[in-house]
Amino acid sequence: MAEALIVSTDRAATAAADRSALETVLVVPNMHCGACIRTVERTLLAQPGVRAARANLSARRVTVTTERVLATTEPLVVALAGAGFAASPLASARTPPDSAADSAYLRRLGVAGFAAMNIMLLSVSVWAGHGSDMPQSLSTLFHWLSAAIALPAVAYAGQPFFASARQALAARRLNMDVPISLGVVLATGMSLFQTIRGSEQVYFDAAVSLLFFLLIGRYLDHVVRRRAAGVAQNLLGLQGTEATIVGPTGVTERLTVGKVLPGMRILVATGERVPVDARLLAEEASIDDSLITGESLPRTLRAGDPVYAGSINLGQPWQAEATSAVESTLLSELARLIETAQQGRSRYVRLADRAARLYAPVVHILGAITFIGWMLTGHGWEQALTAAIAVLIITCPCALALAVPAVQVVATGRLLKSGIIVKAADGLERLAEVDTIVLDKTGTLTLPEPRLADHGAVPDALLKAAASLALASRHPYARAIVGAARERGVSLAPLTGVREIAGAGLETTGPEGTTRLGSAAFCQVAAGNVDVATLWMSMPGSPPFAFRFEESVRSDARSTVEKLMRAGYEVELLSGDQHGPVATAARSAGIARFMAQQKPDQKVERLTALSSLGRRVLMIGDGLNDAPALAAGYASLSPSTAADISQNAADAVFQGEKLGPVVETLVVAKAAHKRALENFAIAVGYNLLFVPMAMIGLVTPLIAAIAMSASSIAVTLNAMRLGLQKKERLL
């Protein structure tokens, strides 16, 4: 056979769950910074039975790998509570609090904004009055009015930061909200003290403006985080909540989707979403499964075809037989894959996390140095404290903490809309760095479902024998033989003792000898060079028989290859098929370099050779058939049938009948890489510019508040640009 079907690989083995361990996802809503990540992970790793803990700041979740003997998450939740973090299992976390949190942030943002504007008006009046000999009593009155507005506004709008800081200090740890709260409290307290004294060193406007801008950044941060969790949750929400079940007597009953079991007959009305994965019982159905495939055009199904949860019935009502429970549907699997990818941390995220972990001690040290330095140089404590407050405010690492997670979330969501599921946390980074693309032919460059040519001329007995053997394989040619047999109405039963040999085919041994289905060499046939895709079958006592297949190159293969070449990528074709069909496919797609009759180990050798030349190779192949090659590539992408999504070894998979998603994936990966670097530059440049200025007194607390908050807003908006840009502008 042209390619091996299922081959174990290091990457596949790594992706497979350890049977002696369990993975649990906990939601930790009050995790705000790199210091929080370190504390959460360290607390969990200290618990008996915990093998690994991986926190994700963007999604505010932590994935915990535990021994199977740890049957409950309660000890983990209790341990985190002791460290000052409220936690709950993902299964019990609900989405409504997100809406409530949005409303709470907006209310506090409104109060802070209203107070800041009014205090600013009073402050401007005072500043202007100094130039026109404003009476001291009027200036003092304005300060007291500012205090009357600022104190309740700070007490209300600052609650998210104060509560977080209080929890951290109660657990004897630091997070980024501690110096923020300290800066706000010191600025407000010092301003009140100076107002009582009748001094002009009053910074109520700075304290309230800081909270205003912080709340803008925190609100945008919250929106991005909600999107991170919402991508998967939105998928599950599209499954529907109820299903119409048709009983044995034809009586219908509405059940919640959680009560639908495999084997039940479901009725799907016009315009209704399919509640669970099922097998179509009607002769024909028109559906919109763009949610699964990324294809916007309706698709026509025939009796026996699979239909997936979330698809919409566009035609007449029809019935189907449920093939899975709600927790086992393809949408549920997609949601799990997305959550797994988002829980992982890329190289950039790990770098940002390490930098953010240093934040709390460094900030307090810089603040202390600033205060002591100003005092030693003979300045009063008011100026020293003002400069220290500016340092505390300016050094908030919000921008650094958001720099990469925000980009990851936006990029993942954009690709998902095109039917592309990113499975590896660092997949986008590696995809952005590739310079060579190697494609497989069958099911990748060509459509995934070839047809058996002239199958009407194949005797029933021979077709039945071949199809019974082919049932053991997921290879496209094997599925084509099985499909032809079922179209003819041939009854099939899987054979026992079938072996699949990598890059060769299938064989089974019986009393009469060995029966084989695969390549000419495997079946010991001197076939010579052939121009069409062929699969041979050899049986004891019978002459070899050639099954010939009709393959179609994907409709946009040539245009896609041309775009990739114009972008500077080297493109090659590697296939296990005969030279003739491979050459034909290569010519159709406009690929000059191709290699035929390549076994899986030879494909790996070619990829290794390219890597030794310094090339970073993207391998695009069937997730099952090309597992070794996918694992050998610097990055990997797989066109996959819906049922194969969770089984392949690729970094990302795409759905649909076009090759265009390859371009979309690379374009978004490069754009995400660019946005991440831009965000790093914004975060680092901001600190390099403003921290020294704050330490030497050139930045007031008000300017520090504006600058710090502006950097957080800048990186978030910069990340969101990725989702707003048109594809043409990204090319």
Domain 451-550 listed as CATH 3.40.1110.10: yes
Q: Residue 277 CB: number of other CB atoms within 10 A?
A: 27
Structure tokens at 295: 């294809």
Q: What pLDDT does residue 183 have?
A: 78
Q: E strands, 83-189, where?
A: 88-89
Handedness of CA 261, 263, 265, 270 (dihedral sign): positive
Q: What pLDDT does residue 97 have?
A: 42
Instruction: Walk along the chain (731 residues) in steps of 10 and give the mean pLDDT of each run.
Output: 34 41 75 72 85 72 74 80 78 46 80 88 67 64 88 91 82 73 84 82 78 75 57 56 86 86 90 88 82 62 84 88 81 63 53 58 80 86 81 70 74 81 78 92 80 79 89 82 85 83 83 88 75 82 86 87 92 85 88 86 87 92 70 83 56 83 91 87 83 84 74 81 64 50
Structure tokens at 97: 């609090």
Q: Are 173 and 165 in contact (CB under 8 A)?
A: no
DSSP secondary-structure letter at 297? Answer: S
DSSP secondary-structure letter at 541? Answer: T
Catalytic residue set: 440
Structure tokens at 471: 């049932």
Q: What pLDDT does residue 358 have?
A: 62
List of residues 6+ apart from 213 with CB closer than 8 A: 705, 706, 708, 709, 710, 713
Q: Are 388 and 370 in contact (CB under 8 A)?
A: yes
Q: What pLDDT does residue 225 have?
A: 56
Q: What pLDDT does residue 15 have?
A: 39
3-state DSSP assignment of residue 584? helix
Cut 0.85: pTM above it? no
The CA-atom distances, in angstroms, between 350 and each of 56, 163, 405, 515, 606 are 10, 27, 10, 53, 32
Q: What pLDDT does residue 6 have?
A: 29
Indicate the residue type of 729: R
Output phi, psi for 544, to 5 deg: -60, 145
Which CATH architecture fits 21-93? 2-Layer Sandwich (3.30)
List of residues 6+ apart from 237 with CB closer than 8 A: none
Nearest to 596 by CA among 538, 689, 496, 520: 520
Which CATH architecture fits 420-446+553-655? 3-Layer(aba) Sandwich (3.40)
Say which CATH topology domain 242-328 has: 2.70.150
Cα 621 to the chain's mean position, in Å?
21
In angstroms, the CA 422 to CA 437 distance is 18
- Residue spans of the domains in the chain: they are 21-93, 97-233+337-407+674-727, 242-328, 420-446+553-655, 451-550
Nearest to 1 by CA among 516, 602, 513, 581: 516
The CA-atom distances, in angstroms, between 409 and each of 95, 245, 398, 414, 684 are 18, 38, 17, 9, 21
Q: What pLDDT does residue 127 have?
A: 62
Rounded to 5, what percent of the chain is helix, strand, coil?
55, 15, 30
In angstroms, the CA 572 to CA 583 distance is 12
Q: 136-157 vs 96-130: helix axis angle to the nearest 10?
A: 170
State the DSSP string of 501-547: ETTTEEEEEETTEEEEEE-TTTTT------SSEEEEEE-TTS--EEE
Indicate the residue type of 200: E
